[in-house]
Structure 1
C-alpha cells in the first residue's frame, strides 16, 4: 500500500471522561491538548516520535501537530510511518495511516471535532460501524477509512457535506447483501465537489441503479471493483466527463460496454476484467487517447481486438 503524504488525527471522547473525573467542563484548546497527551499514553512509541509532546511546549507546536489559524484547534497530525502501535479505546480514536492501531469509532465525533477538514484512518485495524454523526462535521472535505474492518451499512446522510471531495471506504466489510446496500450513494448527488469515490472490496451487492441520476461531474476517480455488482454498465457514466480512472473489475456485470464510455476523453485507466461482459470489444475505446491501462480479461467477448486499440 502507498503511504499517505499526510496523516490526520481524530481526537475525541477523552476530554468528556476527564470532565466526569474532575467535575469541570473542559473546552477549546485544553480539550485538544489533554486528548493528545492521553493519546501519547495509550499508544506504543518505540522510536520516541512523540518525545516533544509535553507541557513545556504549546501543543500546536508539538511535532506533527497542526492547528487552525483562527480557532487554534487540532486539525491534522503527520505521523506517517512512525512505527506507532497499541490499542486505542473507544473513547479516543487516532487517525494514523498505515500503523497497527485498533478500536471502534466513537459515536460523538461531530461534538468534539466540529472543525475537522479531513479524516484519514486507512490501513489500520479499526472496526465497528461508521457513525452517522460524521455527517454533522460540515467542514469535512475528505474521509478515508480504507482497509480496516468497518461494517455496514454506510450512513446515508453524507449529502450534508457540501465541501466533500474524497470518500474512501475500500477494503472493509460495509456491504450487507441487502437491497439497500447502495442507499448511501444517493445523498452523495448533493456533493457537487466530490472528486474521488472508492468503495471497492466491500461485498456490496446489486445493480448500479443509482446512476440513473448523476454523481458529481467533478468526479475524477471512481472505484467499484471487487464487489458483487450485477446488471449492466450504466449509460449515465457518459456524464462523468472528468473521470481519469474507472474501476469495476471482479463483479458480475453483463451486456455490452456502452458507447458513453467512449465520451470519457480524460480517462487514463479502465478496469473491467473479471465480469460477464459480452459482445464486441468496442472500437471507440481507441478514441481515448489518454488511456494507458486497459483491463478486459476474463469476460465473454466474442470478437477480435479492434485495430484501433
Structure 2
C-alpha cells in the first residue's frame, strides 16, 4: 500500500485523533487555570502572619511551585495542599472546592476561623482532611460524607458545635476520625458502625450524651477515646468484641457498674486502659494481666474495691498504675502486700495509691520497686509505722507523697540520697525528731511539706542549698530557734513560706525582702520579736501576710510597695504608733485587715476598707479614736483634728500675728517721729494756753467715747 493511499484511507482517523489530543490539551490547560484561580481565591482570604509562607504565591512562579502546593506529574493538577503550622490567619475560601484533583488537605496548627466550607464535599478524590488546631466554628458540614475516599478526617481542637452528622456512616474507607476538643453535642451516631475500616475514634472533650452504640463492635477499632463527655450506661459492651483494641479512654463520664472479669481475655492487645472519674464498682479484674502489653492502668476516682491483684507483677511493660481515690485495700493490714509483686515491673514510673483504704505498715519491699520510679504517691491512707530507710533506694523519684497517714518516727537520715526529688510531702502524720540536715542535698527541691507533725529543734540551715524552692510548709510543729536567713537567700524563688504555729523566736530576717516572687508569708503563732522589717515592702508579689500572735513591736513600717496584697493580719502583737497611710491607699486589692490587740493610737479613718467592719478588725487598741460608729471607739478630742488642717490653721495664725505686729510697730514709729517733729516746731512759752492747743468740748467728748472710764488714764484729788 502506497503512502498516499494509506493517508487517503486513514485521514479521517488521524483527524479524529488530533481532535482528541487537542481536546485533552485544552481541558488540561483549562483545568490548570481553574486550579490557579482557586488557589488565588484561597490566598485572598488569608493573612500570612509569618510574612514568608505565601510570598512565593505570585505569577513569577508556576502555581505548582508555590509553598505547600504539590501537583501531579502527568496532568499538573493540584493533588496536595499542606500549610500545616504556617502561622496563617483568616478564613477558608469555598474556592478550595474547585481543586478537584486534591487528595491531601492539611491546614492544621494555624489561626483560621469561620466555617468549614461545605464545598469541600465536592473533592471526591480527597483522602486526608486535616484542619486541627484552629479556631473554626459552626457545625461539621454534612456533605463531607460525599468524600467517599476519605481515610483520615481530623477536625480536633476547634470550636465546632452541633451533632456529629449521621451521614458520615457512608465513609466506608475511613480509618481515623478525630473530633476531640470541640463543643459537639448529642449522641454518638449509630451509623458509626458502618465504618468497617475505622481504626481510630477520638471524641475526647466534647459534650456528647447517651451510650456507646452497640454497632461500634463492627469496626476495626484500635483506639477508642471518648473521655471528658457526658456519656452514660455501663462499660460499653461493644468494646468487649473489639479484640484489636490497644487504647480505651473513658475518663470523666457517667459510666457505672462493673467491668467484666474476663476483660483481659477478650482484649489481649490492650496497652492503655483509662477509666478514671466515673462510677465503676467492684474489684479490679485479675484477668487484666492477660493483656501482657498493658503499659497504663489509669482508674482513679471510681468506686473500685477489694485488693489490688498481685498478678499485676506479671505486667512487664507496666509504666503507669493510677488507683487514686477508690476503696481499695479494704482496711486489711496486709493491703500493701502487692508491692512485693510490683517489684517485678521493672519499667514502672508512676504508682498512685492515694486516698484509698490501705492499712498497715509500709513493707520494706517498697525499696525494691523499679529504679525508674519517678512518682510514689501514698497520701490519705491509714499507713502506720516508720518510713523504711530502703525507700531512699528509689533514687529516680521526683515526687514522694506520704501525707495524711499515721506514720511515726524520724525522717531517714539517708533522705539526701533522693537527689532528684522535686516534691516531698510528709505532712499530717506523727513524725518526730529533727529534720535531717542531709535534706539540703536535695538541691532541686521545689515543694517541701512537713506540716502537722511533731518535728522539733531548729530549721536546718542546709535548706538554703535548695536552688529554686516554690512552697515551704513547716507549720504546726515544735520548731525552735530563729528563721534561718539562708532559707530565704536572694537566689530563692519561694512563692509560699509557712512556718506558723511553732516556737520560733528572734527577729524576722530582713532578707525576706529578697523574695521578690513571694505571694504568701505566714509566720503567725510564734514568738518572733523585734520590729517588722521595712524590706517586706520590696516583696511586690505579696497577696497574703499573716504575722499575728507574735511579739512584733514598734510602728508599722511604710510598706507602700504591697500594691497587690489581699490579706494582712498583724493582730496580737505589741505594735505601736499610728495606722500608716499606705493601708488606706490599698483600696483596690485589700480584702481583709486585722490590727486587733496592739498598742496603736490616733484617729481611725472612715475611708475605704476602714469603713467595712467585716473586712477590718481593730479591737483591743485602747488609744484609738474616731472611725465608723460600728467600731464603738471614743470620739477624738476637738484639738485632735487632722494634721493637714492643723498645719494650715497654724500657718494662717502665724501670718495674722506677724502682720499685726508689723502694723503696730509701723504705727508706733510713725507716731514717735511725728512727736519729735512737733517739739522742734513749737518753742515753750509762759502761756499755758499757747503751749497746748485748745480742744473743743465736742471733740473731747468724741475722743473719749463720752468720757468713758475705759479711756481714763488716771485720777486724783486736789487740795483734799
Q: Same fold (TM over 0.5)?
A: yes
- After TM superposition, give the deviation of residue 204 of structure 1 in Å: 0.4
Quote the Cα distance in structure 1 between the aligned partners of 2:416 and 2:449.
15
Which residue of 1 is the match for residue 279 of structure 2?
Answer: 125
Q: Check if 1:176 corresponds to 2:323.
A: no
Q: Within 2, Cα distance between the matches of 1:102 and 1:46?
A: 23
- 1:128, 1:90 → 2: CA distance? 16
Corresponding residue number in structure 2 for 1:79: 226
Q: Distance in 1 between matches of 2:409 and 2:200?
A: 56
CA-to-aligned-CA distance 1:211-264 (integer Å, 9 cap, x gap): 365100010000011000011111111110110000000001111100222111
Q: Compare 259-268 and 50-59 and name the one that shifted more.
A: 50-59
CA contact (8 A) 1:175 1:202 kept: yes
Alpha-carbon distance in 2 for matches of 1:243, 1:62: 35
1:154 is displaced (CA, Å) by 1.4
**2:445 aligned with 1:291, yes or no?**
yes
* Equivalence map 1:75-154=2 (5 Å): 75-81=222-228, 83-88=229-234, 91=237, 95-154=249-308
Contact 1:53 1:59 in 2 (8 A): no
SS in 2 for 1:177: coil
Does the C-alpha gap of structure 1 residues 276 and 159 become closer, same or farther in structure 2, counting only changes over 3 Å?
same
Q: How does 1:225-236 map to 2 (within 5 A)?
A: 225-236=379-390
Aligned residue number for residue 191 of structure 1: 345
1:207 alignment partner, one of 361, 370, 394: 361
Q: CA deviation at 1:176?
A: 1.6
> 1:60 aligns to what SS in structure 2?
coil
- In 2, the alpha carbon distance for the partners of 1:133 and 1:238 equals 33
1:60 corresponds, among 168, 191, 198, to 198
Contact 2:317-2:345 within 8 A present in 1 as well: yes
Query: How far does the alpha carbon of each residue in 1:91-144 deviate from its partner, in whole angstroms, 9 at most, with x for none?
Result: 567741111211111111122110010101011111111111111110101101
Provide the secondary structure at the position in 1 that maps to 2:355. coil
State which of 180, 188, 207 in structure 2 corresponds to 1:50: 188
Alpha-carbon distance change, 170 to 203 in structure 1, aligned in 2, over 3 angstroms? same
> Could you state the TM-score of these two structures normalised by the residue count of structure 1?
0.78
Distance 1:73 1:46, change over 3 A: closer
Distance in 2 (alpha carbons) for counterparts of 1:89 and 1:211? 35
- Indicate conservation of the 8 Å contact 2:376/2:400, yes or no: yes
1:62–1:158 distance in 2 versus 1, CA, 3 Å: closer
Q: Does the C-alpha gap of structure 1 residues 55 and 229 become closer, same or farther in structure 2, counting only changes over 3 Å?
A: closer
Q: From the CA coordinates, give the structure whose radius of gyration is larger.
A: 2
Q: RMSD over aligned Cα, in angstroms?
A: 2.3
**Take 2:238 and 2:457, find their aligned partners in 1: how far apart are those partners?**
57
Distance in 1, Cα, partners of 2:384 & 2:235: 39
> Which residue does the alignment assign to 2:698?
none
Distance across 2 between alignment mates of 1:132 and 1:217: 25
Instruction: Tell me how far apart the structure 1 counterparts of residues 191 and 277 of structure 2 sit (CA, whole Å).
Output: 25
Aligned partners of 1:277 and 1:300 also within 8 Å: yes
Query: Equivalent residue of 2:328, what SS?
Result: coil
Do 2:225 and 2:249's aligned partners in 1 also have CA atoms closer than 8 Å?
A: no
- Structure 1's unaligned 5+ residue stretches are 1-44, 66-71
Instruction: Give the secondary-structure state (helix, strand or coil) at the position aligned to 1:74.
Output: coil
Q: How far does residue 59 in structure 1 lie from its aligned partner after superposition?
A: 4.8
Q: Which residue of 1 aligns with 2:673?
A: none
Does the 8 A contact of 1:162 with 1:191 survive in 2?
A: yes
Aligned partners of 2:339, 2:222: CA distance in 1, in Å? 27
Give the equivalent residue in structure 1 for 2:79: none
Q: Secondary structure at the match of 2:369?
A: coil
> What is the number of equivalent residue pairs in this alignment?
258
Superposed CA offset, 1:34-84 (max 9, x none):
xxxxxxxxxxx981463485244335256418xxxxxx9534323232x23
Mapped pair 1:268 → 2:422: yes
Shift of residue 209, structure 1, vs aligned partner: 1.6
Q: Distance in 2 between matches of 1:230 and 1:147?
A: 24
Distance 1:132 1:295 in 2: 36
Stretches of structure 2 lacking an aligned partner (at least 5 in a row): 1-182, 204-218, 240-247, 464-720
